[in-house]
Every structure is written in C-alpha cells, then in structure tokens.
Amino acid sequence: MSPSDVPGSRGDAQVVTRFAPSPTGYLHIGGARTALFNWLYARGRGGKFLLRIEDTDRARSTPEATEAILKGLAWFGIDWDGEPISQFARKDRHAEVAHQMLARGSAYKCFSTQEEIEEFRATAKAAGHSTLFHSPWRDADPATHPDAPYVIRVKAPREGATVIEDAVQGTVTFRNDQLDDMICLRSDGTPTYMLAVVVDDHDMGVTQVIRGDDHLNNAARQTMVYRAMGWDVPGWAHIPLIHGPDGKKLSKRHGALGLEEYQALGYPAAGMRNYLARLGWSHGDDEYFTDAQAREWFDLSAITRAPARLDFKKLENICGRHIAAAEDAALLHELEAYLAASGQPALSATQSEGLARAMYCLKDRAKTFPQIIEKAHFVLASRPLVPDAAAEKALDAVSRGILSELTPQLRSASWNRETLEGIVAALAEAQGMGLGKIAGPLRAALAGRTVTPSIFDMMLVLGREETVARLIDAAA
Ligand code: GLU
C-alpha cells in the first residue's frame, strides 16, 4: 500500500483519529474506551475514524484475536472508515522510510554487535555513567562501513529536551540525554514497532493520537521519528487507565475485563457506550446521554487526568435508562444477540412474538437483558407453568379460591385495561382485601413467578384465552 492508498490520506485539516489495537488477546474494556474516545472525537467533527491492527509482532498476534476485536467493536456499535489496516502488511513501506531517514542523514547504519553493546554498557556502568548506548557509527564515514549486518538507528538529539504537548497530560518534558538512538530497522530488515506506528500514523493522515497513558513515553521517542522525517507531529492525548472499584489497577479479580464479557452479562451496547464515555470524561453533571449528544459534547480538554474507577452500580443504572428508552424491536434484536453471546438457547418463533408484544412492559426498570428475561418468564414459558417456590407460596388454598371466582368474570369481560382493572378492584373489595393481596396470587398464576410486569400488562399481553387457562391451571 502506498501512502496515498491509505484511507484518510489528505492534505486538508480534517480530523483523523485511529484505534490501533494489538491482536494479542480479547478487546479489553480499556481498549474499547480508547476506541470510543477516538470515534467520538472524529465523528463529532465530521472527521475520519480509522482502524489499524498492529500485528507486527508475529509471535503474539493471532487471527482469532483480530476477529475478536472486530466482533467486539461491531457489538459495541463503533464503525470505522475504510478497511482495517494491517500494520504487518505495510512492512516494506516502513523499511522504505528507514532508508529515507538514512538518505536525509537523520539516521545511520549501526554495525555494533550485541557483545559490543553489552561491553559498552558494562564499562559505562562501572564508570558510573548512563548506560544508554552511544553507537560509534553515528558519525562514521560511510567509506569505513564494513560489509556486515547492520541496524538503522535514528539520530536522537543529544542536547535539550523533547516536549510533548498533551491534551490530557499537559506539557510533558523528556530530557534528550535520556533518549537513545533507537533502532528503526532491524538487521533482518524488519521494522521496529516504534517506526511502524509513526509511519502508519503519518500515512493515514492521523491528526490526533488518543491512546492509553502507558504510551506517553513512546510519544517522545516517536516524536524523534517525525522530526527525522520532517513530518508534522500529531496532537497527543494520553488518557488514564481504568481502575477497579477499589481504585487498584484493573485485573481479573475485579470481574469482567473483556468487552465480550459485558455483552454476555447482558449490558446493552448503548449503555456501555454511554458509561465508558463517562468514565474519565465528563460534560457537566450529565450521566445519561445519547450518542448524538456524546458526539456533540466530547472534547479532549474534559478528560480527567486521574484514573477512572469502574462502578458497576452506575453502569447498571445507565444501562437501565438506555433499555427504557430503546425501541422495542431493536431491543428484541439485541436481546437475541445477548442470548447467543451468553450461550443460551435461541428463542422459538412463539417466544420472540410474545417478547415483541411484551417488550413495552418489560423494558421499564430492567437494567440488563437477564432482568428482562426474568420478567419475561410469563411470556416465554408455556402451560402448564411450573411455579417457583415463591410463586407456589402465593398460591395457597384461599388464594386459589379467589382466583376461581375471577375466572368466569374474565371470560365475559371486554379485554382492555380499564375493564380488567375494574373487575380485579371489585373482587378485592368484595373480598375485603387490598389490591396488593390479590395481585400476589394472580402474578403467581399468570407467570409462575413473583417478579413480573403488572398483572394487567400480563393479562393484556397473554390475551383472554391464555389468561383464563392459566387461572384455571392454578386454581386446580
Ligand atoms: N498497539 C498499541 C496497543 O494496543 C497501541 C499503540 C498506539 O495507540 O499508538 O496498546
């Protein structure tokens, strides 16, 4: 691929961001948030958001991990412009740039062997000097070059400082005497990661590099490569990591780490986007917002410098609001994907029709898909229902007697909310009991469960025939 083939190449000032995961494992939620920030930043500015798979490390990169990243992003609802770019596929271009640096005199061939470098370090250490390698080849006359393997090193500035203007970290200064002449091309002709990143970001026209702050030190070394080529340095934004609820570095013991685990736990993608956008970035006191609002509001200056803490309660609350606001059909679609992702059986046609009819009353106050499924039991199960222990308890002899009085009235009632409410209220009054007392056994009879939508919603969704049949089943 030549530079001009890369999507995003341009001469104008359009914003271009990228997500550049290494395909060495699952898509971590930290990575997902990095992708989200880049996506929001570009999409909110009419810019481009690109995806680059950093598969240069052949030993650790796997096609399965690439697949998992693409699948994870697709579920998360993050789209990118053009085709994903393979970093490895661009290795010839990386090597070409290393040779251009040589031609410009901003890099040099270094013939030092591993032993010589180790010897240099040992001597420096013994003398109490910095052990940063100073190659004798930096200023050597090419006429003296041996016919031997060499690496290409960039000429790092020896004096002064390299300053990173970071949108999140502020001005970060690195002393140049602490940066070595890093290797850009190995002796086997393969590019180093540090070179590849810069060449790719340049060729892709990336204007803002937004990534984890574990890459902050790399920004200084990468700046050397930009300067060596006379290229514009992109804007930097190094975002703090996500920590667990206890404020410690996120690890397995904090629960889910991979994005796909969140899908399998039944969090809706819109809620995850909202929550992860809010994690480390804020817009006033707004906790709940839509993608459109996030795109409009997102800015690097409002990213917090302290690590953000995962808060599952907040995540659930935000997810609940997105579920309540979602379109029924879209929710059903997502719920079916959740079942597949969590290894549960798919819905039958009858079940999915039932869910479609019931969704309006299932989605309010449910924070996750498992909570919807729990409330949906009445429409997913078929007769005869097997009540769980709590429902069984609600169906004692007295309650069953009351239910059997209700049946004939329901048979002849017109099937709308008002009439049904009237009938049940009249029965409660005749029995001298509150509506709540009647609702318990009715719930148990209609759903075989005690956590359900309202009894009237269930009756309306089930219809007359099924409602009456369930009441008869329960009274028997
Ligand atoms: N491939 C790096 C990672 O997965 C990201 C590099 C970058 O964003 O510059 O951590």
* pLDDT tens readout for residues 32-72: 999 999 999 999 999 999 999 999 988 999 999 999 999 99
User: What was the pLDDT predicted at 12?
Assistant: 45
Q: Which residue in 187, 180, 178, 177 sits closest to 110, CA to CA?
A: 187
pLDDT at 3: 44
Is the separation of the CB atoms in 52 and 93 below 8 Å? no
Query: How buried is 435 (Cβ within 10 angstroms: 0-12 exposed, 13-18 middle, 19+ buried)?
Result: middle
Q: Which ranges of the chain have pLDDT less than 70?
A: 1-13
pLDDT in tens, 228-237: 999 999 999 9
Q: How far is the CA of 201 from the centre of ligand 1 (A)?
A: 11
pLDDT at 255: 78
H runs (alpha helix) in 214-311: 216-229, 259-265, 269-278, 291-297
Instruction: State the pLDDT at residue 18.
Output: 98
Give the tokens for residue 114: 């591993």
Helix (H/G/I), strand (E/B), else coil: 16? strand
Regarding the beta carbon of 202 and ligand 1, being less than 6 Å apart is answered no
Beta bridge partner(s), residue 462: none
Sheet holding 151-154, edge to edge: 107-110, 151-154, 183-185
Q: With beta carbons less than 8 A apart as the criterion, state whether 7 and 48 touch.
A: yes
Return the ligand 1 atom nearest residue 18 CA: 8
Evaluated on CA atoms 274, 276, 277, 280, the torsion sign reads: positive
Secondary structure element (H or E) that encloses residue 153, with its range: strand 151-154
Fold (CATH) for 1-82+197-325: Rossmann fold (3.40.50)
Rounded Cα gap, residues 348 and 380, in angstroms: 9
Phi, psi angle pair for 176, to nearest 5°: -65, -25
Residues in the chain: 476
Determine the distance separating the centroid of ligand 1 and the alpha carbon of 54, expressed in angstroms: 7
Distance between CA 304 and CA 443 in Å, rounded? 48
Q: Which neighbouring-strand residues pair with 308?
A: 242
What is the DSSP-derived secondary structure letter of residue 246?
A: T
Residue 357 carries which side chain, given as an amino acid letter? R
Level-2 CATH architecture, domain 381-475: Orthogonal Bundle (1.10)
How many CB atoms neighbour CB 146 within 10 A? 9
Domain-wise residue ranges, the chain: 1-82+197-325, 381-475
Of ligand 1's listed atoms, the one at least distance from the Cα of 214 is 10
- Distance in angstroms (rounded) separating the CA atoms of residues 189 and 91: 9
Pull the structure tokens for residue 425.
């209220």
Q: What are phi and psi of 448, to 5 degrees?
A: 70, 15
Q: Which residue is it, tokens 């009439």?
A: 419
* Cα angle value 428/364/459 (rounded, 5°): 40
CA separation for the pair 202, 7 (Å, rounded): 12
Residues assigned a catalytic role? 252
Q: Is the CB of 211 under 6 A from ligand 1?
A: yes
What the block records as the tokens of 69 is: 């990243």
CB atoms within 10 A of CB 411: 12
In the chain, % of residues over pLDDT 90: 91
Residue 118's identity, in one-letter code, is E
Rounded-to-integer distance, Cα 323 and Cα 316, Å: 10
The reply to whether ligand 1 has any atom less than 6 angstroms from the CB of 216 is: no
Distances (CA, A) of 270 to 292, 334, 388, 460: 11, 10, 33, 29
Distance from the alpha carbon of residue 218 to the mean position of ligand 1, in angstroms: 10
Q: Residue 459: phi, psi to the nearest 5?
A: -60, -40
Give CA–CA dist 226/212, Å, rounded: 20
90-128 b/e with 16+ CB inside 10 Å = b? bbebbbebbeebbeeebbbbbbbeeeeeeebeeeeeeee
Q: 65 C-alpha vs ligand 1 centroid, how far in Å?
A: 15
- Predicted TM-score (pTM) of the model is 0.92
Percent of the chain with pLDDT over 70: 97
| Alpha carbon distances (Å) from 22 to 17, 225, 239, 261 | 16, 21, 17, 19
Decide: 194 in ligand 1 pocket, CB within 6 A: no
In this structure, are strands 161-166 and 170-175 parallel, antiparallel, or unpaired? antiparallel
Say yes or no: CB of residue 22 within 6 Å of ligand 1.
yes
User: Which positions ≥6 away from 465 have C-beta within 8 Å?
Assistant: none
The edge-to-edge listing of strands for the beta sheet with 48-53 is: 16-19, 48-53, 85-86
Q: Rg of the chain over CA atoms, in angstroms?
A: 31
